[in-house]
């Protein structure tokens, strides 16, 4: 609980915790005093700290999560007591508002709320990151399954999002993908596999596979491989278009899943590779076959072996692309697959 944590820092007698509270207090104080000078609203400051410095939450988000009024009172008490770095009062608008971010907008240096920009370019960003208090845009859930969430956003395309850590592939994900194909072929115009958070997929759940090996449950491993191959083929031969919207890591089985879609739309900063050789395994989800099939198409009028050797060598070395452009050079993306520069436009491009 952020409120309890910040309260514990402010009330502690331990010098190291007092130091941490002072850092937060002076940060909140500075941002409130200078908000009107440095940004249109609190939104720009929080997003700048997220994007520029890798913070999970910006300063106004931290303040709001810990309780806007309670934190403001603590900061004001420290200013009055001379414990703050600057002897400058908090702006009066801090008392007038209850939060930095609301569904209506973000607070400005005058205490008003400024809505999110409504420029045409933002129409392509269907699900941009939301700040604390802005409200969550989660679409309409079609089925909340153990391994995946099936949902829709604004049309008749079925979205599939994994629910596992690092979006790895396990029995639950495979069952969810099968359910997605069945539902989409009956009720929807297409499928988009997209993860709202985290990478596209870090591959198969090797931790579970290791437990099965320790318990001599080799039949479960064989079943997982068989089921994964079958669901990939179902995706490839589905009667509706299937698009994989990739950003971040797409490794091992995660890349094989994407390669069986009709199209991949990848953010530029996507890192793809069949890396199973690094742990003493071979790709078992159809990735090698897909590579070989593509090579045959590319070299139909000549000798396939040089390119086949090159592609399989990169698999043997566990090489990972440094970008989506390099993934295309490595054969993981085709010329028909799309690459987008802005990750927040990925979902829009996948629906196009």
CA angle 66/137/51 to nearest 5° reads 60
Same structural domain, 344 and 310: yes
Claim to verify: residue 107 and residue 81 sit in the same structural domain = yes
Q: How many domains does the chain have?
A: 2
User: Quick one: pLDDT at residue 138?
Assistant: 80
Range of the domain at 14: 2-124
Q: At what angle do helices 68-80 and 2-11 cross, to 10 degrees?
A: 20
Query: Are both 243 and 149 inside the same structural domain?
Result: yes
Please compute, for residue 251, the number of CA atoms within 13 A of its CA located in the half-sphere on the CB side: 21
Q: Would residue 164 count as lying in a domain?
A: yes
The confidence score (pLDDT) of residue 298 equals 86
User: Domain check: are 189 and 333 in the same one?
Assistant: yes
Q: What is the pLDDT of residues 20-68, one digit of tens each?
A: 999 999 999 999 999 999 999 999 999 999 999 999 999 999 999 999 9
Same domain? For 145 and 28 the reply is: no
Which pLDDT does position 128 carry in this prediction? 84
Q: Taking the model in full, what pTM does it have?
A: 0.88
| Residue 253 belongs to a domain | yes
Does the residue 135 lie in any domain?
no
Domain identity same for 209 and 307: yes
Same domain, 183 and 321: yes
Q: Is residue 115 domain-resident?
A: yes
171 shares its domain with 275: yes
Same domain, 62 and 158: no
Reference 209, options 227, 235, 194, 196; nearest CA is 227
133 within some domain = no
Same domain, 301 and 152: yes
- 283, 315 Cβ separation under 8 angstroms: yes
64 and 183 part of one domain: no
Burial of 42 from C-beta contacts in 10 A (0-12 / 13-18 / 19+): buried
Q: What separation, in Å, do the N-terminal and C-terminal C-alpha atoms of the chain show?
A: 41
Q: Tell me whether residue 130 is in a domain.
A: no
Do 284 and 319 belong together in one domain? yes
What CATH number is attached to the domain comprising 81?
Answer: 1.10.1040.10
Q: How far is CA 84 from CA 4, 23, 26, 79, 89, in A?
A: 21, 10, 7, 5, 10
Q: How far is CA 113 from the centre of its chain?
A: 28
Low-confidence ranges of the chain (pLDDT < 50): none
DSSP secondary structure letter of residue 300: T
Is residue 98 in a domain? yes
């Amino acid at each position: 609980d952020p409120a309890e944590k910040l309260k514990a820092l402010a009330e502690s007698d331990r010098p190291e915790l007092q130091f941490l509270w002072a850092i937060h207090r002076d940060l909140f104080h500075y941002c409130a005093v200078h908000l009107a000078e440095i940004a249109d609203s609190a939104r720009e400051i929080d997003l700048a700290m997220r994007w520029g410095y890798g913070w999970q939450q910006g300063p106004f988000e931290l303040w709001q999560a810990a309780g806007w009024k309670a934190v403001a009172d603590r900061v004001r008490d420290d200013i009055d007591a001379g414990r703050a770095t600057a002897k400058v009062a908090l702006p009066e608008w801090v008392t007038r508002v209850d939060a930095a971010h609301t569904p209506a907008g973000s607070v400005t240096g005058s205490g008003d709320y400024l809505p999110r920009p409504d420029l045409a370019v933002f129409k392509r960003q269907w699900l941009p990151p939301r700040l604390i208090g802005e409200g969550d845009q989660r679409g309409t859930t079609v089925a909340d399954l153990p391994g995946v969430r099936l949902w829709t956003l604004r049309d008749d395309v079925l979205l599939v999002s994994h629910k596992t850590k690092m979006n790895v592939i396990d029995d639950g994900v495979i069952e969810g993908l099968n359910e997605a194909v069945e539902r989409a072929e009956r009720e929807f115009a297409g499928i988009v596999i997209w993860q709202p958070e985290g990478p596209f997929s870090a591959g198969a759940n090797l931790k579970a596979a290791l437990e099965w090996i320790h318990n001599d449950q080799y039949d479960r491993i064989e079943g997982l491989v068989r089921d994964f191959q079958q669901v990939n083929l179902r995706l490839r031969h589905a009667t509706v278009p299937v698009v994989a919207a990739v950003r971040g890591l797409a490794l091992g089985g995660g890349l094989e899943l994407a390669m069986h879609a009709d199209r991949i739309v990848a953010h530029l900063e996507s890192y793809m590779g069949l890396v199973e050789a690094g742990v003493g395994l071979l790709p078992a989800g159809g990735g090698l076959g897909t590579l070989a099939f593509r090579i045959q198409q590319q070299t139909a009028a000549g000798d396939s072996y040089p390119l086949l050797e090159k592609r399989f060598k990169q698999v043997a070395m566990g090489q990972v692309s440094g970008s989506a452009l390099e993934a295309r050079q490595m054969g993981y993306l085709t010329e028909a697959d799309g690459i987008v520069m802005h990750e927040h436009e990925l979902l829009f491009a996948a629906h196009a």
